[in-house]
A and B are shown apart, each in its own frame.
Chain A
Amino acid sequence: MRFADILRLCMQNLSRRKSRTVLTVLGVIVGCCSIVIMVSLGAGLTEQNKAMLKQMGDLTLINVYSQGSAGNAMMGGGSGSGSESGEGAKLDDAAVDSMKQIPGVVGASPQMPLNYAVRMSVDNGRYYTDYGIIEAVDMTQLSNMGYEILQGEKPTKPGEVLAGQYFAYQFMDKYRPEGSNYRQQPFDMGDGTVMQCDASGNCEAVPADQVEGAFFDQLGAEVTVSIDTGDGTASASGVSGGSSGASVAGATGSPDTGSSGTPAANTLELKVTGTLKEDYPKGSSTSSGLLMDLNQLKEFIAKADRSAKKTTTYDTALVKVADISQVADVEQQIRDMGFGTNSSEQTRKSLEEQSRIIQLVLGGIGAVSLLVAAIGITNTMVMSVTERTREIGIMKALGCYVRDIRIMFLGEAGFIGLLGGVIGCLISALVSLGINLLALGGVSGTNIWHAIVGGEDVSRVSVIPWWLYLFAIAFSTAIGVISGFQPANKAVRIPALDAIRNAQ
């Protein structure tokens, strides 16, 4: 028989028993929908994770720490011996240089914080903070490391620094009354809005361009920094954060160090030339602190704190890798050098793993209903074979090949699966659209666009990748054909004789 004829017979048989076909197809639709929607929820989770990771900052940055300092403190117990490899390897300039040689590494720099109580003031002491943060990296590596400058430019002269995105929000205004003398730093929600809270803790999400700014413009601001070196010769402004009230009673009233007298050895005048984009893995200097050049910071410490040793080793370093796929490999090599590492890679991996498991579980739940649908198809086809025993006998008696009869039944079952799959996918697309619109809050042109194709700052609840449609349709069809096997075999075993026997 010609294939077209077999297909025509299939269609005639299916349309002859319309209600049964429709009900069976309905079962497949439900099964297909449940798989697609379940998997799409899993895929949505993945998309949300991605958005979350994006907010977590640079995914290709590795934080390196020397064993025994941060992280694995316990492991550093026996690390005084100065052995070149293994635990307790020295994180010095030479080590950082050798990290730069690792294939895939595009930039590396030591990272050094100013480990003192840091007081900063701006505008002749009007704006001040006692909890200043200063970190230093090798400024020559700045662009290699992926530091993003939002405004201004990178420092070129000594005394020039970069400020974190929300640096200015760290300052209090001494001329404003208690309670309104500082502004909360806004929080970027990642969807184009920014969460901003007032001093009393009431928060609301506002568009990014309506954020209430800090008291002063940090770009170009001249910051006076002073540190408490703990040797008792601190200047009047050398207030240690959180010290007891009695001893600092006089000091807090006159935070004007920068304006009067010659600069003490423990003060530093800095000028902000640029604003950095907040990026957590690169340290808090990118959000609320200042980032300065490593050598300048070393000089300042040497000058300000005579008791301090010359800095040759660092607690932490930053290594930037070209591509996310190389992160794990580079991390391993750095660990082999005897250092501890940290990156978003582990988080990303575990998130990915987690969403894969959730996806599997959800898909499995969906698969159960498709299994039920498969049983429905088998049932329908078995019924159909029983009903058509006589017809099959006639066809065989008239010389129809057994193969053609089998193909006819498999075709009918497969078509039920195919139809259910296609309709199921269409319905799933609508349901997915509905869920996303609900999550995005209402129907509008852009929302519909975002709900279907997504967008830069959009994380959808339900994501149906194109391959899922193909897979669902192919899978439904396959389920249909598989369900048809047993009935088809039953059909071809019907002896031609039965057709004639009925005549007696």
Chain B
Amino acid sequence: MPMERPIIEVRHLRKEYPAADETVVALDGIDLAIPRGQICCVYGESGSGKSTLLNQLAGMEKPTRGGVRIGGTVISRLDERELAAFRQRHLGFVFQSYNLLPNLTAVENVAMPLMFRGVPKTQREKAARGMLRRVGLGKRLNHYPTQMSGGQQQRVGIARAFVARPQVVFADEPTGNLDSKTKIDVMEMIVSFARALDQTIVLVTHDDNMAAYADRVVTLLDGRIIDDRPVAAVPASTQGASR
């Protein structure tokens, strides 16, 4: 591993939610460093705190204690506007339920992050078309999400996540709604994009098959990291990941 500073650094991260009588501790003292270019899988059963961790990493919520630093920026200190600008420039997202805007075509959906940045329409749609061709949807550029299958929609989602060339892409159960054949396509696509541009992927999943695509698997249980190990370079088709 190079001596470069990790792109994502998590220090003593604690997140509590107020409940009826007591406070629920969702994250309890997480320390994590992810170097540039790594594909890191955050694995855990539901309720383990993995989604909370992802929200923290993406700056969706403020931590109770501790903090997250991405590319040198402490994101928990950013205000709403700075955070939006930071997301535009540095972060990409792939969601389980695709989260495409239903009234926009595939091209428009993919071009959306660029639109938020203020890139002119012709320029951003050119980039979007290029991305869609790369995910194999060159013939569905002007289709609406409802006119596409789940796998196609998720490929649009991937194109959208990578179109702005973000440093970090967060993928939250990206294959959760897909059949096993499509799962493999989608995962390979994410990995190949990341490898091509030396992008860092944080993959949150409870599917240990998917963990096989990662360089490293961090396992959460009850808000703590209970396991953190690299994945041996084994073919994706075999059961490479372990707990």
Contacts and interface: CB of A to CB of B under 8 A. Distances in A.
A495 interface: yes
B58 A397 contact: yes
Contacts of B160: 398
A394 B99 contact: yes
Interface in B90-124: 91, 93, 95-97, 99, 101-104, 112-113, 115-118, 120-121
A404 interface: yes
Contacts of B84: 396, 399-402
Given A16-B103, A390-B99, A503-B173, A497 B81 contact: no
A497 B55 contact: yes
B176 A503 contact: yes
B99 A499 contact: yes
B116 A1 contact: yes
Contacts of A141: none
Contact of B116 (A4, A404, A504): A404
Contacts of A499: 95, 99
Nearest to A393: B99
A500 B170 CA distance: 11
The listed residue with most B CB atoms (<10 A of its CB), out of A1, A404, A502, is: A1
A123 interface: no
Contact of B81 (A16, A391, A397, A401): A401
Interface string B8-46: 000000000000000000000000000000000000001
Given A5-B115, A500-B60, A399 B87 contact: yes
Contacts of A143: none
A2 interface: yes
The listed residue with most B CB atoms (<10 A of its CB), out of A4, A394, A402, is: A394
Contacts, number: 84
The listed residue with most B CB atoms (<10 A of its CB), out of A5, A390, A401, is: A5
A496 B116 contact: no
A22 interface: no
B80 interface: yes
A106 interface: no
Contacts of A496: 60
A1 B118 contact: yes
Given A12-B104, A13-B103, A391-B101, A399 B116 contact: yes
A398 B60 contact: no
B61 interface: yes
Nearest to B91: A399
Interface in A231-261: none
A2 B103 CA distance: 19
The listed residue with most B CB atoms (<10 A of its CB), out of A397, A398, A497, A503, is: A398
A399 B86 CA distance: 7
B112 A500 contact: no
B143 to A, nearest CB: 15
Contacts of A403: 81
Interface in A1-43: 1-2, 4-5, 12-13, 16
B161 to A, nearest CB: 9
Contacts of A504: 46, 51, 96, 173
16 contacts: A16-B102, A16-B103, A394-B99, A398-B88, A399-B113, A399-B117, A400-B116, A402-B80, A402-B81, A404-B116, A497-B55, A500-B60, A503-B95, A503-B172, A504-B51, A504-B96
Interface of A: 1-2, 4-5, 12-13, 16, 390-391, 394-404, 495-497, 499-500, 502-504
Given A399-B84, A402-B81, 19 more contacts: A1-B116, A396-B84, A397-B58, A398-B87, A398-B160, A399-B86, A399-B88, A404-B116, A495-B61, A496-B60, A497-B60, A497-B61, A499-B99, A500-B95, A500-B172, A502-B97, A503-B99, A503-B176, A504-B46
